[in-house]
Chains A and B, each alone.
Chain A
Amino acid sequence: MSKEKTVMLLSGNEAFARGVLEAGVDVAAAYPGTPSTEIMETIARFGKETGMHAEWSINEKVAFEVALGASWSGLRSFTAAKHVGLNVAADPFFTATLFGGMKGGFVMVIADDPSFHSSQNEQDTRMYALAAHAICMEPSTPQEALDMIKFAYDFSEKWESLVVLRSTTRLSHSRGPVELGAIPKKESHKGEFIKNPAQFVCLPANARRTKPLLMEKLEKIKEYSNTSEWNVLEKGDKSLLIIASGVSYEYVKDAIQELNLKPTVYKIGFSNPLPEGKIIELLKEYPKCLIVEEVEPYLELSVKALAAENNIQVQIFGRKEKVIPISNELNPKIVKQAITRVLNLKKAETEEGSLPTNAEINEKLPNRPPELCAGCPHRATFFAIKQAAKKRKLDPIMPGDIGCYTLGFMPPLSAVDTTVAMGASIGIANGIAQATNQVVIPVIGDSTFFHTGIPALINAIVNNAKFVCVIMDNQLTAMTGGQPTPELGKTAFGEPAGVVSLEQVCKGLGIKNVEVVDPYDLEKTTEIIGKAIDSGELSVVIARRECALEYTRQVKRAKQKLDTYFVDEDLCTGCRICVRTFACPAITFDYDKKKAHIDESMCMGCGVCRIVCPYDAFIKR
């Protein structure tokens, strides 16, 4: 009799986390970023009892270095990030892959975001792996996410190399049945760093010696790749060879099932180094080859090069042939169309043609863009900045940053003029302040300021750049679900930790004008920001008020009531200033009555609307 299996419906991210726990990882470090956040969140929730160390690091570079240091001390270590997070960690990443020496397994999950669901770009981590000569694998289901992580730790230790697992949004944020294994009990989570300067000091002389060794190692791993259990050949008929990886492979399976076809499918799970020998062998056997992958033509370029180098007569279809679209994520329909085209099949008759299209329907519906929440202190801060500027007849340039407050971009606030990268608001403010005579007000969140904002502020001091930096301090990393910031003094496990104060950091740097305001006190906030603008000096205004969502959660948890507001219809003149300039989602306008209305199920009682309204029509319940 076999033992009863435990199967759970896990997201890809939860499965990665479970894999980390089942692999007996000792040290895990990450900075949150959609779509990777839940990996570390899950480790933080369940890792404590294993005795491991888990942390929310200050940024992805530090997280990577924490894991590298632990791996070099002989411990199993882990880091996770979103695709653009790897940009921040790219410096140590390139050198760590060159020098290797992973005494304890080191695995990194990077979650790419095809279709820009919550990201500023669509980059492909496999290209990074190729450029850095890193081992890269691509799971396609939550079950594989778990299984691959466990394999990757053994593999990392065998070759003393970092292993990168590439995820995408549709794996990280999809659920499927996952069979769980056991979490090992470990006596100790302490290692020892054994000095070996030739391995760990990346002087040019050491690097020169190391590079050929790395290339040799990769040649051997390429041999492994040809027979890897993660590169799976599903033999079908001789009409077509489909090569696919990640979740794209699942779309291929859906598409051929629906088309009732049986082409040969080669699933790539071990994607760097590629199984070149096996690919060459296969290309010789088929007249046509279709490559299905997301974001960049990573497989496509290599497969085409292999066909050309080996004089193989095979028609290869991918992005260049416009069979697969150049941008955005794939889906079963796109893959179905690609197969139909490549095989010159007749399109099935459908009745879909007579139905309205998405575009036609959307024309009749109001847009529903993401919004700052009801009661969000960021809305009040943006409003105050706008008011202070208006009083001075100024149109300040407002470089924005990455977080909930990027949504200040939306009308009617329209208060974000640039957004580029984490911490870039202050860097760009430096540039605009030097290049123009315009008033510059960079806006950055507390977590983002600690992440990469501080160096740019120091830069302003030492280069005499003048601007008013507004730090929107809501006391947590809100956009990704409320992870702790350095001001909170809490570890990932919720244990007490050291505290770093924003105002002490700014004053310690030598900035004289540092003020802390409460954005719910709209008048005072407007006044202080105005004074900072008038001073013409480099100033910092910290707008401090807890995230409204977090506050609401706490009140509900304590079973207390929120002090909601309502509209006194005798006082409301129907001027619409509230909906036109402030746009809190809890306030709507009733055109039949010509009065504003508050949805009290959404109102959390910030009371800022009371100050926005010139007629005092908003009343506390």
Chain B
Amino acid sequence: MTKLEKPYQIEIAGVGGTGVLTAAMLIGNSALLQNVHVVQSEIHGMAQRGGVVNTEIRMGPVHGPLIPDHEADVLLSFELGETARAMNKLKPKNGIVIMNTHIIVPPSLQIKKGAKYPSLEEIESIVKQFTEKVYLIDAFSLAEKAGDLRTQNVVLVGALFATPDFPITRESFEKALTIQFRKKEQVIKANMKAFELGYNKMKELMK
């Protein structure tokens, strides 16, 4: 039994179809395997069709499923621009941002002639007003390396587990992964690899 003295909270920001819900399930189940109290919220339905999808995970002495603004310890972002949109969830100054450099351009942007997606520098400048602890991960390339593009989410989960003071162990994650994808050996293998790549990348960035 691991008892957390204070809440540990993770905001996941992404776009429908990028594996936000699966990542949240894996993190939540990892916590539960260590007997850490966990609650989390998710949004389904209409928003899933390419819309903004956010999931919040709260561990330790917490009650409701929503993270109050400016309270998240980590913002884990699955899409570049969505990082900026979720910044108000993060603890100012001390919060950690792990962001995917991959972008998903909304089709509605294409209709207007010449409309451009914000650059990495533009997004970074917004994010850095909140915290200095910003880590960029090219999850797309790492997932490619892991052998399955759908493992971008787990690359980022790997990076999350490498953050200092993260209360859940890698062993719990591996157990949760095996339970989640029972019998699908290929999927488990690719995800293990993706986790490892994300974990190592984050350790390297934090040096």
Contacts and interface: CB of A to CB of B under 8 A. Distances in A.
Interface of A: 7-9, 11, 34-35, 37-38, 117-118, 141, 169-170, 173-177, 247, 250-251, 253-254, 257-258, 331-333, 336, 350-352, 355-358, 361-362, 364-373, 404, 407, 410-412, 479-480, 576, 579-580, 583-585, 587-589, 591, 601
A233 B114 CA distance: 60
Nearest to A253: B63
A355 B44 contact: no
Nearest to B122: A364
B177 interface: no
Given A9-B25, A253-B63, A332-B68, A177 B37 contact: yes
Contacts of A588: 105, 110
A357 B108 contact: no
A250 B32 contact: no
Given A34-B46, A173-B42, A583-B111, 19 more contacts: A141-B39, A175-B24, A175-B25, A176-B39, A331-B64, A331-B68, A351-B92, A361-B85, A362-B85, A364-B84, A364-B118, A364-B126, A365-B118, A368-B51, A369-B106, A480-B45, A576-B110, A576-B113, A584-B107
A364 B80 CA distance: 13
A488 to B, nearest CB: 21
Interface in B186-206: none
21 contacts: A9-B25, A9-B32, A34-B46, A174-B40, A175-B40, A177-B38, A250-B63, A251-B63, A331-B64, A332-B64, A333-B69, A350-B70, A355-B92, A355-B129, A356-B87, A358-B85, A366-B108, A368-B82, A368-B106, A583-B107, A591-B116
B127 to A, nearest CB: 10
B49 A254 contact: no
Interface in B47-72: 47-52, 61-66, 68-70
A34 B45 CA distance: 6
B28 interface: yes
A351 B63 CA distance: 25
B108 A365 contact: no
Contacts of B45: 34-35, 117-118, 479-480
Given A175-B28, A361-B85, A411-B108, A117 B46 contact: yes
B7 to A, nearest CB: 9
B115 A366 contact: yes
A361 B111 contact: no
Contacts of A176: 38-40, 65
B169 interface: no
Interface of B: 15-16, 24-25, 28-29, 32, 37-52, 61-66, 68-70, 81-82, 84-85, 87-88, 92-93, 105-111, 113-118, 122, 126, 129-130, 149
Output the residue of A350, A355, A370, A591 with the most chain B CB within 10 A: A370
Contacts of B114: 591
B46 A177 contact: no
A323 B109 CA distance: 38
Contacts of B65: 170, 174-176, 247, 250
A340 to B, nearest CB: 13
A140 to B, nearest CB: 9
Contacts of B38: 9, 175-177
Nearest to B52: A368
Contacts of A247: 64-65
Contacts of B81: 365-366, 368
A458 B184 CA distance: 50
Contacts of A332: 64, 66, 68
B174 to A, nearest CB: 17
A589 B81 CA distance: 18
Contact of A174 (B41, B50, B92): B41
Nearest to B110: A579
A352 B92 contact: yes
A240 B51 CA distance: 41
Nearest to B32: A9
Contact of A356 (B49, B64, B108, B129): B129
Nearest to A256: B63
Nearest to A579: B110
B118 A370 contact: no
A257 B6 CA distance: 11
A361 B50 contact: no
A40 to B, nearest CB: 14
Contact of A35 (B44, B48, B92, B115): B44
Nearest to A357: B88
A175 B39 contact: yes
A410 B47 CA distance: 14
A494 to B, nearest CB: 19
A587 B15 CA distance: 17
A371 B104 CA distance: 13
Contacts of B85: 358, 361-362, 365
Given A118-B46, A355-B92, A367 B149 contact: no
Contacts of B32: 7-9, 177
Contacts of B92: 351-352, 355
A391 B188 CA distance: 53
A113 to B, nearest CB: 9
A601 B149 contact: yes
B39 A254 contact: no
Given A7-B32, A118-B46, A173-B43, A366 B106 contact: yes
Contacts of B116: 591
Contact of A373 (B37, B49, B64): B49
Residue picked from A7, A9, A331, A357, most chain B C-beta under 10 Å = A9
B36 to A, nearest CB: 9
A572 to B, nearest CB: 14
B130 A355 contact: yes
B163 to A, nearest CB: 21
A613 to B, nearest CB: 15
B59 to A, nearest CB: 11
B155 to A, nearest CB: 16
A362 B81 CA distance: 10
Nearest to A140: B64
Given A7-B32, A351-B92, A174 B39 contact: yes
B107 A585 contact: yes
A173 B68 contact: no
Given A177-B32, A364-B84, A411-B111, A257 B50 contact: no
A480 B48 CA distance: 10
Nearest to B49: A370
A601 B18 CA distance: 12
Given A177-B32, A356-B129, A366-B109, A117 B42 contact: no
Nearest to A582: B107
B106 to A, nearest CB: 5
B134 to A, nearest CB: 15
Nearest to B126: A361
Contacts of B62: 254
A62 B38 CA distance: 38
Nearest to B90: A355
A368 B29 contact: no
A589 B149 CA distance: 22
A370 B46 contact: yes
B5 to A, nearest CB: 13
